[in-house]
């Protein structure tokens, strides 16, 4: 375990920021974040949160590493092919920051009751899954538990990201529109490898902003890498925490 001075040295480049300091860094250390899905999005989210000093991560995924995952799921390596994604990510994160505690859930969230049981003890939930059904289950669970949910989805050259709040949010409507569009494109699905990593880092940044009580998290973000890196932010009011 690192001493206080060692921790301050480790995170010194962010502690010197006026918005952070030692007190806010301590909030990160006490935070508990659940990351559901350890593919391209989840690898980026979990690595970023571990690196920045989030003290407790829950990692959820029921799949094993496949060779086709490697171009976009940057924590997984060839030596971990046919190993569970939870163990693959645990190994990498532990060697990156052994101070972060991790709870593994080697399963898929298949129903509301499972989502409620797993999400209950966490402050913030991150949806890094790749299917609409899991997203809807997590949205319903977080609404019942009064927890914020940071959602992202990627396909082809396009990514969407939103923060779903449990009071008065219209994020459901926007995500349904976007996910319906994604389903219509399934026959020609694919994704450029860098996109999940970018969107995962955006998700992690929204988590950090909520933990630290900084500026209001964005409500909706759209990114298309094929058209000049264009994006939109807060295109409509979606409710506030």
Domain with 196, as residue range(s), is 31-233
Show the tokens assigned to 27: 């909030």
Tokens of 180: 């319906």
Q: How many structural domains are present in the chain?
A: 1
CA distances from 198 to 43, 133, 144, 169, 202 (A): 11, 23, 30, 25, 6
Position 125 in a domain: yes
Q: What is the pTM of this model?
A: 0.89
DSSP sequence for 42-65: HHHHHHHHHHHT-SEEEEE---B-
Q: Tokens 């797993």 sit at which residue?
A: 118
Q: Tens-of-pLDDT digits for all 241 residues of the chain?
A: 788 888 889 999 999 999 999 999 999 999 999 999 999 999 999 999 999 999 999 999 999 999 999 999 999 999 999 999 999 999 999 999 999 999 999 999 999 999 999 999 999 999 999 888 898 899 999 989 999 999 998 888 888 888 887 655 555 565 555 555 555 445 447 888 899 999 999 999 999 999 999 866 566 677 777 775 555 444 333 333 3
**Residue 10 covered by a domain:** no
- Domain CATH code at residue 51: 3.40.50.720
- Compute the Cα dihedral for 76, 212, 148, 104 and give only its sign: positive
């Amino acid at each position: 375990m690192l001493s206080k001075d060692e921790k301050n040295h480790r995170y010194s480049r962010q502690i010197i920021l006026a918005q952070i300091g030692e007190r806010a860094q301590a909030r990160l250390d006490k935070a508990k974040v659940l990351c559901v899905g350890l593919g391209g999005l989840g690898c980026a989210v979990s690595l970023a949160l571990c690196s920045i000093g989030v003290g407790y991560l829950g990692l959820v995924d029921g799949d094993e590493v496949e060779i086709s995952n490697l171009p976009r799921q940057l924590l997984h390596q060839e030596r971990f092919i046919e190993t569970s994604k939870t163990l693959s990510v645990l190994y990498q994160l532990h060697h990156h920051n052994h101070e972060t505690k991790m709870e593994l859930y080697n399963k898929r969230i298949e129903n509301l009751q499972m989502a409620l049981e797993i999400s209950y003890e966490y402050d913030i939930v991150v949806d890094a899954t790749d299917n609409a059904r899991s997203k809807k289950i997590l949205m319903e669970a977080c609404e019942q538990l009064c927890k914020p949910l940071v959602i992202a989805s990627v396909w082809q050259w396009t990514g969407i990201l939103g923060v779903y709040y449990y009071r008065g949010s219209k994020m459901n409507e926007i995500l349904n529109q976007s996910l319906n569009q994604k389903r219509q494109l399934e026959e020609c699905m694919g994704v450029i490898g860098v996109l999940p990593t970018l969107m995962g880092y955006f998700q992690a940044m929204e988590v950090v902003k909520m933990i630290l009580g900084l500026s209001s998290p964005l409500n909706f973000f759209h990114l298309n890498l094929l058209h000049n890196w264009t994006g939109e932010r807060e295109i409509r009011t979606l409710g506030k925490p």
